[in-house]
Amino acid sequence: MPEFTRSGPAAPKPGDYAVVPGSQGARRDFRITVGLREGWDAEGRVFDVSEAVRTARAWMRRRVEAGQPALSGMFTRAEVTYAWPREDGTVGSDREPVALFTGEAVHAYLGHLPDEAIEAMLNELAVELGAALGQERIYVAFCDRTWILDAGEPGR
């Protein structure tokens, strides 16, 4: 069996780890849920989650280039399932592909910002994601709060 040698620095050992100064603080996790199917029809275009990733990365780059902080996180693809009562007494149900952007406003990097600044960044990014993916509603959560951004009818 061939022998492999590792090039570069040695891997850290358990005793090498320490808490980074200034990194401890209150947890401020967030989530943006944005649909991947454009419009309300089952035949609407379905975007790949990579389109959401491209949109978020462009938003992050613009903010950092302007000397502003940006959120970082991870995207996953999921499906929302739901049901509703119909006027005739039956029940309808459906499912919709969504992109989830989740993360934390890490104290070491964003701890100096008040919650309102994080909420403003979440709203800014959510609106860009919604516009890029043709969504009327975007669902946002931050710490112990949630809200819905709604574009309503165009031109109103």
pTM of the model: 0.86
Is residue 31 in some structural domain? yes
Q: Which residue has the tokens 């994080």?
A: 118
Is residue 59 in some structural domain? yes
- Residue 38 is part of which domain span? 26-150
- Residue 16, pLDDT above cutoff 60: yes
Is residue 17 in some structural domain? no
Q: Which two tokens stand for residue 9?
A: 């620095």
Is residue 14 in some structural domain? no
Please spell the DSSP secondary structure of the chain, one letter per residue.
-------SSPPP-GGG--PPTT------EEEEEEESB-SSSTTS-B--HHHHHHHHHHHHHHHHHTT------EEEEEEEEEEEE-TTS-EEEEEEEEEEEEEE--HHHHTTS-HHHHHHHHHHHHHHHHHHTT-SEEEEEETTEEEEEE--STT-
Is residue 6 in some structural domain? no
Q: Which residue has the tokens 């849920």?
A: 33
CATH for 126 = 3.30.70
- Residue 55, pLDDT above cutoff 90: yes
Is residue 89 in some structural domain? yes
Q: What is the pLDDT of residues 66-87, one digit of tens each?
A: 999 999 999 999 999 999 999 9
Q: Which amino acid is it at 133? A: L
pLDDT of residue 6: 63
Q: Which amino acid is it at 78? A: A
In sequence order, what are the beta bridge partners of 140? 32, 147
Is residue 21 in some structural domain? no
Confidence band of 44 (pLDDT split at 50, 70, 90): confident
Q: What is the pLDDT of residues 102-142, one digit of tens each?
A: 999 999 999 999 999 999 999 999 999 999 999 999 999 99
Contacts of residue 98, defined as CB under 8 A and 6 or more positions apart, other chains included, come to 33, 34, 35, 36, 77, 78, 79, 80
- Residue 43, pLDDT above cutoff 90: no
Q: Which two tokens stand for residue 91?
A: 């029940």
Q: Which two tokens stand for residue 95?
A: 């499912």
Structural domain total, the chain: 1
